[in-house]
A and B are shown apart, each in its own frame.
Chain A
Amino acid sequence: MSSVTDTSETTHSASHDVHDPHLHDEVKVELSPDFLAQADKIVSKYPVSKRSAVMPLIYLWQDNFGYVSQQGVRWIAQRIEIQPINVMEVLTFYPMFRQHPVGKIQFKVCRTLSCALAGSYETCEFLRKKCGITEIDEHGLGVSDDGKFSVEFVECLASCGTGPVVMINDDLYEKVDTSKAQELLNKVS
């Protein structure tokens, strides 16, 4: 037949998509009775449509295991009786849902206007350099090679008068210039 174009074997591309082959092999986690009870409680909040529990369950999984693996996707899908692709639709929509492990210590640097004017880009650059982060993914997330730190930009953290602000895991720090950032680094590492 016509040889106008490349008809070679079908290939996959773009490492971040659902076709990513390395999503297959990963460590399986055990689900504790406590986790299952929490999940049941979440699902029971949506008596009309279990499907609505998809976001709270993704949060639950991420809070427990750091990121939502394909095991998590499959488990959530069967728990609320939807297809895995429906979970993937939500999971990939929000960058705050992680599909890959992130650092144990997560720096979230605000880059919305006030913080940006106050120098958050310098702060972020400083943190990345100090943590040894060289590569960042399509959402701007960078993870250090040892997996200890991750640094990323986020949008407004609602403390515009005290920029640049940074969240370290769930704690907010204000007026984080490079010297304050060094202090924080020393504190957490």
Chain B
Amino acid sequence: MAFVKNAFQHDILPADTPLINVQIDGEWVQVPKGLNAIEAASRAGKFVPHYCYHPKLSIVGNCRMCLLEIGMPKMSPDRKPIIGEDGKPEIGWIPRPAIGCATQLADGMGIRTDSKLAKDCREGVMEFLLINHPLDCPICDQAGECKLQEYSVEYGQSESRFVEQKVHKPKKVDIGERIVLDDERCIMCSRCIRFAREFCKDDVLGFTQRGGFTTLAVHHDKRFDNNYSLNTVDICPVGALTSKDFRFKMRVWFLRETPSVCTGCATGCNVTVGAREQTVYRLTPRENEDVNSLWMCDQGRLNIGYFQGPDRLTEPLVRVGGSQVGAVWSNIYPQIQHKMLGLKGEQVAILASARATNEELFVIADVRRSLGGDTVLADIVPRPGKSDGVLQNADRNPNSAGTRIFGLNYKGQNIAKIKEAIDAGKIKALFCFHEDAVEAGIPAETLQKLDLLVLQHIVPGPTGALAHFVLAGAAWTEKRGSMINAAGRLQRLNKATACPGSAREDLEILLNLRTALTGGNSLHKVEEVFKAAASQYPIFEGLTFSRITDLGVQLDRSKLPRPQVVKGSVVAEPDFAEEFAPREMPVKSEGLPATTPRISA
């Protein structure tokens, strides 16, 4: 079930839509009834170029790029189709071209996408579009993924006949918090206007002036500051709308694209990570009709700075006396093991994270079981927010569902217990995985009482300064793994860049710790860990890491441990369920998941 409902879906029809016979470039094919000519042609493997048409927006037909030839079935005087010599209906071609986007095909109709008329039309449209276009491709951010460039090559003319002056329009117009507009590059397709109106329900963009002077603009009273505004940069076919964040940063053809999943909230929007060498430059939404369609929020999209800052941990640190010094990984694990000697389960606590992958959580849960199971206090840090009713989930943790499956989620209620137990001297060792204990509410004075404080994170934070061991881990773009979103969809993260310095992938660190602490050394790769998890947790039955694919797998929601809903709180729909009950209400502590793990031999 998709999280987001598009106002229009021209490309997707219900599965039971009846088929009709249409002729596309001379071939008779069957396509679902109700498709427009562009979509029907694409099902037959023919591409019809277009600018203003977008499958998820209303159809306006103002770019004229998709002009093609349309034919109707010839009818005899008694209104029966005339059958030709080849046994197929004869088609009467209309001499005037028609736009493909606004032409719904009916049974027996024909279209010609590559006839001379269609080609001439495209050539003419391209010539007009290029008249006032500045052709500043060398410095344009869109270069390399610009439809005007692509169609110029494919459908344009090789020579320009234009000798007049180009119309000059506003440049570098600041139309919103995150968007800069270059009006000269705009080809007036109006996709952004329709997106703002139909998807954002925030009608702030419009065309002012007229004819060749037509200018995209906002009114200064109401600018384009919507949290979904950067999607217009994606759907802008040219370089008119540019992201302030990405502007002039990198030529797009240098970006290595890796399919992954946004970890900003429990929706898990599918994204493409654009990186060059060690740097992630941008995220763009990746189509997944079961999750985010073609969109993502700006907050998620721009959330790539925090792990690329100057405070990033690039090597493991060991506390020696009063200071921390860089260390070698191979020395760290025996040292931790040594410090853990003789500690009982109730003397150890784990602060896990709902930002961790399932594989990492599995290893943490496995180590916890070896150390003493439920006697080892564990929890995660909840991140309740507000759902925006579009894509942003109320749960800002990407993998709360995973933490519930692996029995590590106590809704943050154990954090206070951990603090008390440390203060009482009962807990001697605390392992913080990608969560900062101080920020989670365990003050520095308390942490200083610990015999062993291990922090595995990407930035040191306030806890880092107190830790005996700081393990430099990986950001979400630097590792592989799987997560489960709020709708119970299992999705995959992929590695887009290498970890900086001698930081390591978290799973590798955890597996080494597991080997040091429990002796188990059967697991090495993420695939193996997933396989082990699948053998112990029935929810993953029949799955392997590679079977998750880039589009994810829907898990059986009835078998997923549900977030506990407090009596009296209103929950409209399970997928949008507020994961966290209001704080002032009494909350029962959450038990183990319904799927109690089978202990492996």
Q: Do A and B come from one complex?
A: yes
Q: Which residues of A contact B (CB under 8 A)?
A: 1-2, 4-5, 7, 10-14, 16-19, 23-24, 73-74, 82-86, 88-89, 92-94, 138
Please state if B171 and A13 are interface contacts (CB–CB under 8 Å). Answer: yes
Q: How far is the CA of A92 from the CA of B209 in the complex (A)?
A: 5
Please state if B172 and A11 are interface contacts (CB–CB under 8 Å). Answer: yes
Task: State the majority secondary structure of interface residues on A.
Answer: loop
Please state if B170 and A10 are interface contacts (CB–CB under 8 Å). Answer: no
Q: How far is the CA of A83 from the CA of B200 in the complex (A)?
A: 14
Nearest residue in A to B217 (C-beta to C-beta)? A18
Residues of A contacting B169 with CB < 8 Å? 14
Contact of B248 among A1, A19, A24 (CB under 8 A): A1
Nearest residue in B to A16 (C-beta to C-beta)? B209
Stretch at the interface among B44-52, B97-105, B218-226, B471-479: B218-226
Contact of A14 among B170, B203, B221, B249 (CB under 8 A): B170
Please state if B208 and A74 are interface contacts (CB–CB under 8 Å). Answer: no
Residues of A contacting B161 with CB < 8 Å? none
Residues of A contacting B173 with CB < 8 Å? 10, 12-13, 19
Contact A85/B170 with A1-B249, A17-B215, A93-B210 known, Cβ cut-off 8 Å: no
A172 to chain B, nearest CB (A): 26
Please state if A4 and B210 are interface contacts (CB–CB under 8 Å). Answer: no
Contact of A85 among B180, B209, B217 (CB under 8 A): B217
Please state if A85 and B210 are interface contacts (CB–CB under 8 Å). Answer: no
- B412 in the interface (beta carbon within 8 A): no
Nearest residue in B to A74 (C-beta to C-beta)? B221
16 contacts between A and B (CB under 8 A): A1-B248, A4-B138, A4-B248, A10-B172, A12-B170, A17-B208, A18-B215, A19-B173, A82-B203, A83-B203, A85-B204, A85-B205, A85-B208, A85-B222, A88-B206, A92-B210
Q: How far is the CA of A7 from the CA of B244 in the complex (A)?
A: 10
- B120 in the interface (beta carbon within 8 A): no
A21 to chain B, nearest CB (A): 8
Q: How far is the CA of A16 from the CA of B139 in the complex (A)?
A: 27
Please state if B248 and A2 are interface contacts (CB–CB under 8 Å). Answer: yes
Residues of B contacting A4 with CB < 8 Å? 138-139, 248
A48 to chain B, nearest CB (A): 19
Residues of B contacting A84 with CB < 8 Å? 219, 221-222
Residues of A contacting B220 with CB < 8 Å? 18-19, 23-24
Q: How far is the CA of A7 from the CA of B242 in the complex (A)?
A: 13
Central interface residue in A23, A74, A82, A93, by most chain B CB within 10 Å: A93
Q: How far is the CA of A93 from the CA of B215 in the complex (A)?
A: 11
Nearest residue in A to B203 (C-beta to C-beta)? A83
Residues of B contacting A2 with CB < 8 Å? 248-250
Residues of B contacting A82 with CB < 8 Å? 203
Q: With contacts A16-B209, A93-B209 known, what are 16 further pairs, Cβ within 8 A? A: A1-B248, A10-B172, A10-B180, A12-B170, A13-B173, A14-B170, A19-B173, A23-B220, A74-B221, A85-B222, A88-B219, A92-B208, A92-B209, A93-B208, A93-B210, A94-B210
Residues of A contacting B218 with CB < 8 Å? 18, 85
- B247 in the interface (beta carbon within 8 A): yes
A79 to chain B, nearest CB (A): 15
Q: How far is the CA of A7 from the CA of B169 in the complex (A)?
A: 18
Please state if B217 and A88 are interface contacts (CB–CB under 8 Å). Answer: yes
B186 to chain A, nearest CB (A): 13
Residues of A contacting B253 with CB < 8 Å? none
Residues of B contacting A74 with CB < 8 Å? 221
A24 to chain B, nearest CB (A): 7
Residues of A contacting B250 with CB < 8 Å? 2
Residues of A contacting B210 with CB < 8 Å? 92-94
A-facing residues in B172-188 (Cβ within 8 Å): 172-174, 180
Please state if B247 and A7 are interface contacts (CB–CB under 8 Å). Answer: yes
Contact A85/B248 with A10-B174, A14-B169 known, Cβ cut-off 8 Å: no
Q: How far is the CA of A13 from the CA of B180 in the complex (A)?
A: 14
Contact of B207 among A23, A73, A89 (CB under 8 A): A89
Residues of A contacting B171 with CB < 8 Å? 11, 13
Residues of A contacting B207 with CB < 8 Å? 89
Q: How far is the CA of A145 from the CA of B460 in the complex (A)?
A: 67
Q: How far is the CA of A129 from the CA of B217 in the complex (A)?
A: 36
Contact A83/B222 with A88-B217, A89-B208, A92-B209 known, Cβ cut-off 8 Å: yes
Report, nearest first, the 10 A-B pairs whose CB atoms are least far apart.
Answer: A10-B174, A85-B206, A92-B208, A84-B219, A5-B139, A85-B219, A89-B206, A18-B217, A13-B170, A10-B172
A27 to chain B, nearest CB (A): 18
Residues of A contacting B208 with CB < 8 Å? 17-18, 85, 88-89, 92-93
Nearest residue in B to A13 (C-beta to C-beta)? B170
Please state if B170 and A19 are interface contacts (CB–CB under 8 Å). Answer: yes
A-facing residues in B224-256 (Cβ within 8 Å): 247-250
Residues of B contacting A17 with CB < 8 Å? 170, 208-209, 215, 217
Residues of B contacting A11 with CB < 8 Å? 171-172
Nearest residue in A to B251 (C-beta to C-beta)? A2
One digit per residue, 1 when the CB lies within 8 angstroms of any chain A CB and 0 when it does not, for chain B 146-183 equals 00000000000000000000001111111000001000
Residues of B contacting A93 with CB < 8 Å? 208-210
B582 to chain A, nearest CB (A): 35
A2 to chain B, nearest CB (A): 6
Residues of A contacting B219 with CB < 8 Å? 18, 73, 83-85, 88
A11 to chain B, nearest CB (A): 6
Residues of B contacting A1 with CB < 8 Å? 248-249
Please state if B139 and A86 are interface contacts (CB–CB under 8 Å). Answer: no
Residues of B contacting A94 with CB < 8 Å? 210
Residues of A contacting B205 with CB < 8 Å? 85
B182 to chain A, nearest CB (A): 11
A99 to chain B, nearest CB (A): 10
Residues of B contacting A92 with CB < 8 Å? 208-210
Q: How far is the CA of A7 from the CA of B174 in the complex (A)?
A: 13
Residues of B contacting A23 with CB < 8 Å? 220
Residues of A contacting B139 with CB < 8 Å? 4-5
Please state if A86 and B203 are interface contacts (CB–CB under 8 Å). Answer: yes
A-facing residues in B511-530 (Cβ within 8 Å): none
Q: How far is the CA of A92 from the CA of B213 in the complex (A)?
A: 10
Q: How far is the CA of A74 from the CA of B204 in the complex (A)?
A: 13
Residues of B contacting A12 with CB < 8 Å? 170, 173
Central interface residue in B204, B217, B219, by most chain A CB within 10 Å: B219
Residues of B contacting A13 with CB < 8 Å? 170-171, 173
Residues of A contacting B249 with CB < 8 Å? 1-2
Residues of A contacting B217 with CB < 8 Å? 17-19, 85, 88
B165 to chain A, nearest CB (A): 14
Nearest residue in A to B249 (C-beta to C-beta)? A1
Q: How far is the CA of A23 from the CA of B217 in the complex (A)?
A: 15
Q: How far is the CA of A17 from the CA of B208 in the complex (A)?
A: 8
A78 to chain B, nearest CB (A): 10
B459 to chain A, nearest CB (A): 23
Please state if A7 and B170 are interface contacts (CB–CB under 8 Å). Answer: no
